[in-house]
Amino acid sequence: MCNLYNVTTNQEAIIAITRALVGNVGNLEPSFDVYPDQLAPIVRNTPEGRELARVRWGLPSSSKAQFDAATKRADKLRAKGKPVDFDELLRLEPDGGTTNVRNTASRHWTRWLGVEHRCVVPVNRFAEPDPASKVDGGRTPNAWFARSDDMPLMFFAGIWVPQWTSVRKIKDGVVTTDLFAFLTCEPNSVVAPIHPKAMPVLLTEPDELERWLTEPWESARTLQRPLPENRLILLPRR
């Protein structure tokens, strides 16, 4: 499950290839790593047109996941003899967000699969933890993947949700913000040796971007597939 990626392409190039009509991201850094719950550039469909914007990474988790987490917290409080207002506990249950979407048949996700919630997420390379390279006692290093050694621009196929109210972090309390995440699929033979469960859904051609951003779900869903092996490489370790 991809929880780290890097962007090096400037906003002018992103706007040019996506044909975004509006941009409000300010100055993008020359190169930056993106982690969950951070703001990151996406190109999204909005009523005003296709827009390049900074949006927070991590869609709302399912109501079941939130209910289960609140239940565990309530059980711990009760075990300590403390009173519990479960409805309030559930309302304030922290949700760091779901970064990757796999099961698009889930009722939790189907409400956001229409064109109005589609986005593409610029990326030049993405990482997956590589346990086989871990040295005893050290942290798990990342393996990085890109289209080629010069890491040209590609995009994750994503969905976004406007103005969602939740508790992302306890210290911040209730916040309302736009959110996004991207789809995953079966890994291809390049990614599978590192991460056998999944890889991000990647779009590398202009016609793929247009299909994802404009076509009905019945057609766009065919893009939720592994990128062909000849369009992705494992970058040399640094």
Tell me what pLDDT residue 134 has. Answer: 74
Tell me what pLDDT residue 78 has. Answer: 86
Tell me what pLDDT residue 145 has. Answer: 98
Grouped pLDDT means (10 residues each) for the chain, 238 residues: 90 92 78 93 93 95 79 84 79 86 95 97 96 76 96 97 91 93 97 96 97 97 97 90
**CA end-to-end distance (rounded Å), the chain:** 22
Tell me what pLDDT residue 34 has. Answer: 96
Q: State the number of CA atoms in the 13 A half-sphere of 60 facing the CB.
A: 22
User: Domains of the chain by range and CATH?
Assistant: 5-60+98-163+186-234 (3.90.1680.20)
Tell me what pLDDT residue 185 has. Answer: 97
| Cα–chain center distance at 116 | 17
Tell me what pLDDT residue 70 has. Answer: 76
